[in-house]
Structure 1
């Protein structure tokens, strides 16, 4: 059975919710899925004072986990138009995997959130995807088979480069049904491509 890792960082729970939707889509496609998060690099007292969501249930990943999966879907919020330091610090430890080619040919994808519609969703996706391409991974985005990203009836996330959500300037907006549907669809597509590549 294909193994998929949904690897995420979430300060306030928005990306955690998207990760669960991505994982659900991959499971629906027949994959065995693990959800893991990267370590928090901010001191715990500072994180608590900033009201970070500290009760996340997903286990913390290690770099050594990554080669054990057929596909890796990476999610992180935008920080000034790029991935946050927590995710970057984790991926920066993967030099040995890059050198050995341990991730070559595996399927990769990205998802993100931002405070506003134009707050860096796409550049953050590219900052994640750039890493995955350097690792030799085969990239899957979120094509317009997810028609929800075309709606004009409400504010929605979504991009052909990956699933996204809009959190609001104070984190007041949780992922909408359309955002979560996009995340599920992307997870399903990643698993389906991984299954095809494994044949």
Structure 2
């Protein structure tokens, strides 16, 4: 998604991660991948000013603007030749036990959604 957002002139995506709250033993049992140290942790004070995706439906019910990908991805939305994450609500990846990597289609959908969302946000910012 960051690649898609950054692909729209005048728009920049910043990635943050929230501090982990689960014990390392629990993360191991879940087969959670290690955290990417290049993505900084966001503080509670910084979180107030951040935009982003989290519990989309919960926040949408409270009036948050949400830009779903819909069916703008075209034929890629209907590919059924392999397991694919994502829906009209947004990009996603089926991870299973953590050994599966995102497919080219899943990555392309994420990039498309980032670009699509950044284009809408840019229009709203100039309205």
* TM-score, normalised by the number of residues in structure 2: 0.81
Q: Tell me which of 44, 56, 70 is aligned to 1:63.
A: 44
Q: CA deviation at 1:44?
A: 3.0
Contact residue 129 and residue 139 of structure 1 kept, 8 A? yes
Q: Tell me which of 39, 50, 53 is aligned to 1:73.
A: 53
Q: Tell me which of 70, 73, 80 is aligned to 1:143.
A: 70
**Unaligned regions of 5+ residues in structure 2, if any?**
none
Aligned structure 1 segments of 4 or more residues deviating by more than 6 angstroms: none
**Unaligned regions of 5+ residues in structure 1, if any?**
1-21, 75-127
User: Deviation string for 1:13-58 (max 9, x for gaps)?
Assistant: xxxxxxxxx1111000131211011111112354356553334121
Matched, 1:44 2:24: yes
**Higher RCO by CA contacts (8 Å cutoff, separation 6 or greater):** 2
Tell me the matched-pair count: 123
* TM-score, normalised by the number of residues in structure 1: 0.55
Could you say what the CA RMSD is over the residues aligned between the two structures, in angstroms? 2.1
When residues 25 and 154 of structure 1 are mapped into structure 2, their CA distance, relative to the original with a 3 A threshold, is: same
Contact residue 142 and residue 158 of structure 1 kept, 8 A? no
